[in-house]
Amino acid sequence: MKNIFPKIEIMAPAGSYESLSAAIRAGADAIYFGTGNLNMRSRAAAPFQLGDIRKIARICRWCGVRSYLALNTIMYDEDLPHMREICDAARAAGITAVIATDIAAVQYAHTIGLRVHMSVQANVSNMDAVRFYARYAEVMVLARELSLAQITSICRAVREEHLCGPSGQPVRLELFVHGALCVAVSGKCYMSLAQYNYSANRGACLQPCRRRYHVSDDETGDELLIDNHFVMSPKDLCTIDCLDRILATGVSILKIEGRGRVADYVGTVTRVYREAVEAIHAGTYTVERVEDWKNELKTVFNRGFWHGGYYCGETTGAWSGQGHSQATLKREQMGVVTNFFRKPGVVEFTLWKAFLRTGDHLLFEGATTGAFHHTIDEMRVDEKTVREAKQGDVVTIALPGCVRRRDKVFLLLEHESGDPRLPPSQIDVR
């Protein structure tokens, strides 16, 4: 039987070197990242800077992964010199392409021979838009508000017209498949700007839509009765249970949202979608496996899932019941790796707080390590095997993989476990 699915590229987010490593180790074909303040995640706690571009490009080339640089905010005249500086640095470093919306960035990248991908902010929703942007762009991400039938129609037209980008290569179409959604079409929201003078379209959104609100009549003062106070906060998109239908439309790039997320989120989500794509191609994509994948995705940051989103024509269940994460696993940092003995494969760290027991699940995160999981089957303190280690103990554990000095050590616990090592007030950052 002929394989009806195109070759699929999984594009993962990278907001830090830890997330970059996690994405690559989890099987990403490409990563996307931003630098400075001209990308839609410029408020990240420790954003990449101009000097990081060359290093990221080098890492990606070494690992055989494509690198895309987000340059997708709206831009004012005073931004243009810096935009050109970023594009010049990206071209010199060998970045695969820039992701852009503003025509100033699109045109400049095009003039210096730097490949362009159209960002979701361009709201590409029809074939005429695809034809227009094909003058400049090799790849376009389609609007998240389209249905599968509309996506299929656009993909079919691109194939039938043999539509090519400026390099002469066929245009490829991209789709968001997992992660946060915006209450506004294509993310073009002005609420944060209006309320706090922090513009979402400049990468500085304070997410006022994620907060609780009461709706009242301004004249009478009567409050409207609503079932959910989070009336503008969408659930996260999850397409794992309709991924076969998405692949059948003809899109060739699956994009994961999450440049503001930690390495474990990036690694888990990337690996799950990698496995699902391979299962679809192998004919082993089953209901049982989908349920397992959904349960894995629930362990990392999420605001609840909207399965299929607009793609599948869903009209209900779009709004989150919470403003923060509903991950089933929470994490508590227990220390930092002080040594890793490579030959015996043993990690050493000092326990900062509480206690550890055999059977506990640990997560190691680092710039090179990415995200590495291990369940403790044996540990030692003062060269003696112990079942429990307490605060201040120097713990050694044999690992089946490699971690590095200064990697963070986290304990993962069930959210509802009531374990005293996880403060009930902790807000998950996974």
pLDDT tens digits along 135-161: 999 999 999 989 999 999 999 999 999
3-state secondary structure 378-419: CEEECCEEECEEECCCEEEEECCCCCCCCCEEEEEEECCCCC
- Cβ(412)–Cβ(330) under 8 Å? yes
pLDDT on residue 123: 92
Distances (CA, A) of 164 to 131, 244, 347: 9, 26, 51
| Integer Cα distance of 319 and 301 in angstroms | 16
Domains of the chain: 9-181+234-312 (3.20.20.70), 329-414 (2.40.30.10)
Tokens 């699929």: give the residue.
Answer: 8
What's the pLDDT score for residue 306? Answer: 86
CA distance 278 to 290: 13
CB of 256 within 8 A of CB of 174?
no
Per the structure block, which two tokens stand in for 188? 């073009």
pLDDT digits (tens, 9 = 90+) for 94-118: 999 999 999 999 999 999 999 999 9
pLDDT of residue 181: 81
Which pLDDT score is estimated for 428?
44
C-beta separation of 94 from 61 below 8 A: yes
Task: Tally Cβ neighbours within 10 Å of residue 292.
Answer: 14
Could you say which residues of the chain have pLDDT below 50? 1-2, 45, 425-430
pLDDT for res 196 = 64
- Lookup: tokens for 194: 């209006």
pLDDT of residue 85: 96
β-bridge partners, 173: 140
DSSP of 120-186, one letter per residue? GGG-B-SHHHHHHHTTT-SEEEBPTT--HHHHHHHHHHHHHHT-B-TTSSBPEEEEEEEE---SSGG
Both tokens of 191, joined, read: 């609420």
CA angle 314, 318, 319 (to 5 degrees): 170
Q: What is the pLDDT of residue 403?
A: 97
Give me the count of residues in the chain. Answer: 430
Q: Which of 273, 322, 321, 269 is nearest to 300 (CA)?
A: 269
Contacts of 278 by beta carbon, 8 Å cutoff, 6+ apart: none
Q: Decide: 244 and 280 in contact? Cβ < 8 Å.
A: yes
